[in-house]
Amino acid sequence: MSRVNTELCYQIVKEYYGEIVANVASFLIRSKSSSLGVIVQRTCYDSKQVKQALLTLIKQNIVTFSQTKSGSIEYTAKPEAILWILRFPNYIHCAKTLFGDAAELLVEELLLQGQTDLGSAVVKTTNKLNESLRSSGSNLPEISQSLIRDKAVLLVKARLIRRCEDVILGKSGQFGVAVSEVTEPEQLFLLPTAIDFETSPGLKRPASDNMESKAKRIKLEAGEANEQEENKVHKSQGPGYWRVNVYQFHHHFRDQVIIAAVAKNIDQRASEVMRTMLRLSETRSNPLSLESEPLSFTEISNAMPKDKILQKNMLDQYLKCLSDNCYNFVTKVGESGGGLYQINIFKAIKAICVSHIETIVLERFGSKALRMFRVLLTDKQVEQKQVEERAMLPPKEAKELLYKMFAENFITLTELSKTPDHAPTRTFYFFNVSLIQVSRMILERCYQAISNMMVRRQKCLSENKRLLDKQDRVEAIIASLDAEGAIEQKEEVEQMVTPSEKAQLKKISDAAKTLELSEIQLDQTIFILETYLSYTLHPPEVKK
């Protein structure tokens, strides 16, 4: 974990959960794993504060814990889970487009809580929906809880939400000591049963007996093995806890990226064909494999959405385009069923990642540098002179740009000496591009850029705190006057914010919006780079 990355994690946690939690989290990230005692000692907070912080982090699935051989409990942070917080808006939006408003609210609730029981999530969602119905003044009938429950089941079926891992209880049976390892992933997606929807009104978390509810109020007792927060009790004892399954969302994002690329390369209809193929393969292929399972022509044709059905001949042409062109996103692997087609997920992701990197080279170094960069990508090991010739650039300019890219680690240099003394005159110098290295480097910089954006945004807001507070107060007064119907006074109050202050306020909110938007856009680049790297660095096991 690099310095930049730790810094970003700190910024994110600070923004969402406050400074104490952020300090505990970044200490855990730096130290890999530690016990409560060590954390207290090193962060200089008292143990109550640390426990609170740990509780928040555990609930947000950022920290897990396990018992060492000596019996003490070690806390470990998962930094990637912190970075996922940046994607919350995307997850929520995705749930909405896939399954509608109710799903959106359910996912939002689960994300906010980190872990929660389905029962209360359903109740909250139902209430929110009905409230907005009422306030919009429509006279539609109330939405029933069972409807939302069905939505929740749907989300589980789509694997967008899942059960939390069990917590192993210590000897006393009162306190969890470790999060159990999942041996059977399917268990996490067992559909919710009636018991999962049970709620105890008035309580945030369900409790079947007194002891449990006490534990729930976080018993992070200092000392020995019982310094554990209650997490999830045995299933038999009550409703289980649920959380969002970010991986499934990521698969979905990945598919969206591929679909968008097809739309750019061919056209909108081609992207619909790709969408259909990805949807078909979703349930059938291992989400991590490099290629999808083969899909037959008939299958694809039948699965096309009703309003986008294509003539056989046209579909055939589109599949040909996809497989003979378009960076080989698709390969034809057989003739049965009117032709068997396979999606080359990895090839597609790689092409997209390369394209992203190329746009970065273009913006940073200009079109001539991009030309040389692509010469290196195509020809692998190239001498400076050859690069100039292939790219048809004047030697002086070419040299300048090449060394600029080299200095910024976009390209690398290999030395090949004819003699053991490595005398420069008898040495060949080859330029090349290591995609993995470049991706990693850019990824780092994206982390840094996001962190910069956040810092700047916070600074911008804190510098203008007085003004922003004033705006809040004025707005509150206006709202209450509105309710009383006092028009005259209202105008008077409105005047309290001077025009120059108004202009300033607009500037602040514009700047904050620009920065927030950049954070989201940066995350898209991060997502693509991370996806590419995860495919390259941990290739999925070959199926037996």
Binding residues vs other proteins (CB under 8 A): 7, 260-261, 264-267, 269-270, 314, 316-318, 320-321, 325, 327, 351-352, 355-360, 362-364, 367, 370-372, 374-375, 378, 390-395, 397, 442, 445-446, 448-449, 451-453, 455-456, 459-460, 507-508, 510-511, 514-515, 518, 520-525
Residue 490 has what DSSP assignment? H
* Beta carbon of residue 53, minimum distance to other proteins (angstroms, whole number): 22
* Secondary structure of 246-287 in HEC code, one letter for each residue: HHHHHHHHHHHHHHHHHHHHCCHHHHHHHHHHHHHHHCCCCC
Nearer to other proteins, 58 or 391 (CB): 391
Backbone angles phi, psi at 537, to 5 degrees: -85, -35
* Beta carbon of residue 384, minimum distance to other proteins (angstroms, whole number): 14
φ/ψ bin of 61: left (φ > 0), alpha (ψ from -120 to 50), beta (otherwise): left
Cα 335 from Cα 46, distance rounded (Å): 69
Cα 170 from Cα 311, distance rounded (Å): 64
* Beta carbon of residue 279, minimum distance to other proteins (angstroms, whole number): 20
* Beta carbon of residue 302, minimum distance to other proteins (angstroms, whole number): 20
Cα 496 from Cα 345, distance rounded (Å): 59
How distant, in Å, are the alpha carbons of 432, 440, 448 from that of 409?
Answer: 11, 11, 16
Residue whose structure tokens are 């039948």: 302
* Beta carbon of residue 30, minimum distance to other proteins (angstroms, whole number): 16
Nearer to other proteins, 52 or 518 (CB): 518
Nearer to other proteins, 197 or 447 (CB): 447
Cα 524 from Cα 473, distance rounded (Å): 37
Taking the CA atoms of the chain, what radius of gyration do you get in angstroms? 28
Q: How many CB atoms lie within 10 A of CB 422?
A: 11
Nearest to 258 by CA among 158, 329, 308: 329
Nearer to other proteins, 55 or 375 (CB): 375
* Beta carbon of residue 318, minimum distance to other proteins (angstroms, whole number): 5
Nearer to other proteins, 232 or 457 (CB): 457
Decide the pairing of beta strands 412-417 and 161-163.
Answer: unpaired
* Beta carbon of residue 471, minimum distance to other proteins (angstroms, whole number): 17
Nearest to 524 by CA among 248, 254, 244, 246: 254
Q: Which residues pair with 163 in a beta bridge?
A: 242
* Beta carbon of residue 353, minimum distance to other proteins (angstroms, whole number): 9
Nearer to other proteins, 148 or 526 (CB): 526
Burial 493-523 (b: 16+ CB within 10 A, else e): beeebeeeeeebbeebeeebeebeebbeebb
Nearer to other proteins, 400 or 510 (CB): 510
Nearer to other proteins, 383 or 491 (CB): 383
Pinpoint the alpha helices (H) of 415-464: 435-463
* Beta carbon of residue 364, minimum distance to other proteins (angstroms, whole number): 5
Nearest to 527 by CA among 260, 313, 323: 260
CA 168 to chain centre: 28
Cα 40 from Cα 385, distance rounded (Å): 60
Nearer to other proteins, 68 or 514 (CB): 514
* Beta carbon of residue 5, minimum distance to other proteins (angstroms, whole number): 14
Nearer to other proteins, 28 or 453 (CB): 453
* Beta carbon of residue 456, minimum distance to other proteins (angstroms, whole number): 5
Nearer to other proteins, 99 or 327 (CB): 327
